[in-house]
Amino acid sequence: MISLFYENLKISLVAVFANKTKSLLTALGIIIGVLSVTLMGTLISGLDRSFESSMSWLGKDVLYVSRYEWFSDMEWWEVKNRPRMRSEYVDKIKNLSKYALAVSPVMQRTASLSYADKETRTEIFGTNEEYMETISTDLDLGRFFSLSEDRNGSRVTIIGYGLKEAFFGSDNPIGKYIKIDNIKFRVIGVLEKQGKFLGLFSVDNQAILPLGAYNRIFSKRGWMRLSVKVPEQKIEDGHDEITGIMRQIRGLKPSEKSDFAINKTKAFEAQYNKLKLAIGGTGYFITLLSLIVGGIGIMNIMFVTVKERTREIGVRKAIGATNGMILSQFLMEAVTICFFAGLIGLLLAYIISLFINQVFPSTLPLGLSLFSIFISMLVGILSGIIPAYKASKLDPIDALRYE
């Protein structure tokens, strides 16, 4: 049976390569199908990866308390009318909460940063000494500021890895002074490299200051959120508890609605899953459609092939080919076309994924590549089976007489 397999493979290869243009046109639907499924998979895997790392940057065990609820359709004026977060809440939450492991207020604005003759505009953050516990990024160099540095308004800063590269290159920035809106700050630490948030904007160019200094130099008023770290498995309990504490702080009656929002990275996940479903759904639809069209094309060309080679089928039967042997020969031919179609689709997808990778980190997943080859061969079997069956059932006498 192995020699029959090789024989069939040889016949198929000869048939496919003897008519390259015909085979290529026949296989176009499958090529497009495989291309769309693998490209979509590449895109989603890239999205997954950047989403995963972005989410770990946010932290799955952190509650974000602010006026604004993520992905809600609240009117902006409604948000604006809510009372601001205040840094006094930090101590209150710490005192009342049994889940809170770290609480830090975060204020944010853009500022102009400079060192020597280099200058850039970037985000600066004002926060307290517990901030590092609410993010999952570590320090690359130096140290974070202390409670007393925050209290006495020390002008120290921790800069992102990108900022360090831009300002200091490979030099050690620790102890050097940079200017933030023309006020000198001493660099005491550098965050490790983080990459782009959701693949969109870099978070490596930030500078972190103690809230004490931030408030004095920039503004006490401004947008603030609180980051509350809780044990990961207690995120729901923590959510309920912090809601209660916030309502207590705000002095809300049971009948009143909350005038703040507690956000979790889950909200991002839900949103992200919707996006993924949309991309995936569209991709699968295109894939399915082109595979069906491609499969019909293969079936059609196989019917033509069987017709063209009726006499050959007669000869083969006369010299001893059984129905099964003829069936496997034509089935193999359909599968071979589809296999090469899958391979071409995959190759194109790989080339395109290299371009995508330039703008968006992504790789062609190996499992999906194998799967797409498997799928195209399956299409070959499904679309080849009827023509092959027809070939196998030909009467050898009629087939030999066929002109």
Partner 1 sequence: MKLIGLKDIYKIYNVGGEEVRALDGVDLKINNNEYMAIMGPSGSGKSTMMNMIGCLDSPSSGLYEFEGEKVHIMDDGQLASIRNRKIGFVFQTFNLLPKASALHNVEIPLVYANIKKEKRLKMASDALISVGLEDRMHHRPNELSGGQRQRVAIARALVNNPSIILADEPTGNLDSKSGHEIMKIFDELHRNGNTIILVTHEDDIAKYSNRIVRLLDGKIVKDEIVVKN
List of residues contacting partner 1 (CB under 8 A): 1, 3-4, 7, 14, 18, 311-312, 314-325, 396-397, 400
Residue 181 or 312: the one with the smaller Cβ distance to partner 1 is: 312
The least distance separating partner 1 from the CB of residue 324, rounded to whole angstroms, comes to 8
Q: How far apart are CA 260 and CA 252, in angstroms?
A: 11
Q: Which residue has the tokens 């992504």?
A: 362
Residue 68 or 402: the one with the smaller Cβ distance to partner 1 is: 402
The pair phi, psi for residue 108, each rounded to 5°, is -145, 140
Q: Where are the beta strands (DSSP E) in 233-333?
A: 261-263
Residue 190 or 394: the one with the smaller Cβ distance to partner 1 is: 394
The full DSSP string for 311-329 is HHHHHHHHTT--HHHHHHH
At residue 169, the 3 state secondary structure works out as: coil
Q: Tokens representing 266? A: 């889950």
The least distance separating partner 1 from the CB of residue 332, rounded to whole angstroms, comes to 13
Residue 225 or 317: the one with the smaller Cβ distance to partner 1 is: 317
142 bridge partner residues: 189
Residue 31 or 332: the one with the smaller Cβ distance to partner 1 is: 332
Q: What is the DSSP letter of 216?
A: H
The least distance separating partner 1 from the CB of residue 387, rounded to whole angstroms, comes to 19
The least distance separating partner 1 from the CB of residue 302, rounded to whole angstroms, comes to 18
The least distance separating partner 1 from the CB of residue 311, rounded to whole angstroms, comes to 7
CB contact at 8 A, 309 and 387:
no
End-to-end CA distance of the chain: 31
Residue 15 or 85: the one with the smaller Cβ distance to partner 1 is: 15
The least distance separating partner 1 from the CB of residue 305, rounded to whole angstroms, comes to 13
Count the Cβ atoms, other than its own, within 10 Å of residue 202. 16
Residue 148: burial class (beta carbons within 10 Å; 0-12, 13-18, 19+)? exposed
